[in-house]
Amino acid sequence: MNISSIVFKRFSRNRLSLVALAVVAAIIFVALFASVIAPINPTIIDVHNVLSPPSMAHPFGTDELGRDVLSRMIWGSRVSLKVGFVAVGLAIFMGTLIGSTAGFYGGKVDALLMRFVDIMLAFPTFFLILAVISVLEPSIYTIMVVIGFTGWMDVARLVRAEFLTLKERDFVVAARASGAGNLRMIFRHILPNALSPVFIAATFGVAGAILTESGLSFLGLGVQPPNPSWGNILTSGKDYIEVAWWLSLFPGLAILTTVLGYNLVGEGLRDALDPRLWETERR
């Protein structure tokens, strides 16, 4: 049985992770087709339906301007999808680049790059993001870039650790003996074998990026009205918590479900990709 079959078999045995994967897939589907699924334009103001409770016309109720909360939730999922994938993509790129360079070359290069990683880790990430965004103009693009450029350190350490182990393996020594250059050894022989922890970190990273974006939007430093996001819907809910419970409940449940879904998928992948368990599966 090959490795991919073992990974799929182990992941499919984890029913909780399978359910989480289905939930995440559904959220991604809703985000991609928000323009078709949303029943009403999320920015249309209806002064006759201000703070209306959930009903057949508005299943999730309306906000303080009479806007349909369900439609805003659906469009807000698109914001979460963009922030999660773009920010984590940037973090994975930077972390892989720095970690692979440090792990492959070692010595002074490794020491210099890892001290830079340590300096970045010394700053509280969320407060660093707050400081940068308070200087720049709040927007979804600013959030994506800032989260990406402040979330690569753990990936760099994971990739470095994998490179330090893999570069001493026989297949890398054989590639070096056959005359392979450094770039070929990095990208052809070592990096493909070091990506398992990166995939796992990416899954957890998407959940963290969504949570960070929601927190920033809640504080008014994220996606700006009238554009909807789960965080700024929660901000409205804070002001009307006693008379409009639905403004807090539904976006809160959406954030909880999405973050929990990505975390459970990440845990399933971590168990499925654990090489220490492959020998047990082969027997």
**Within a domain: 46:** no
Q: How far apart are CA 140 and CA 41, in angstroms?
A: 20
Q: Which domain holds residue 8?
A: 3-40+60-282
- Predicted local distance difference test score (pLDDT) of residue 74: 93
pLDDT score of 237 = 83
215: domain CATH number is 1.10.3720.10
Residue 54 within any structural domain of the chain? no
Q: Is residue 134 part of a domain?
A: yes
- Residue 234 neighbours by CB under 8 Å, 6+ apart: 214, 217, 218, 247, 248, 251, 252, 255
Q: Among positive and negative, which fits the CA dihedral 161, 166, 169, 172?
A: negative
- What predicted TM-score, i.e. pTM, was given to this entire model? 0.84
Residue 48 lies in a domain: no
Identify whether 88 is part of a domain. yes
In the chain (283 residues long), the average pLDDT of successive 10-residue segments reads 67 86 92 89 86 89 89 90 89 92 89 91 80 78 85 90 85 78 80 83 88 83 81 84 88 91 88 62 53
- Which residues, other chains included, contact 99 with Cβ-Cβ below 8 Å and sequence gap of 6+? 155, 156, 157, 158, 159, 160, 162, 163
Residue 49 inside a domain? The answer is no
Residue at 90 is within a domain = yes
What values do phi and psi take at 68, rounded to 5?
-70, 120
Domain tally, the chain: 1
In a domain, 244, yes or no: yes
Q: Is 84 helix (H, G, I), strand (E, B) or coil?
A: helix
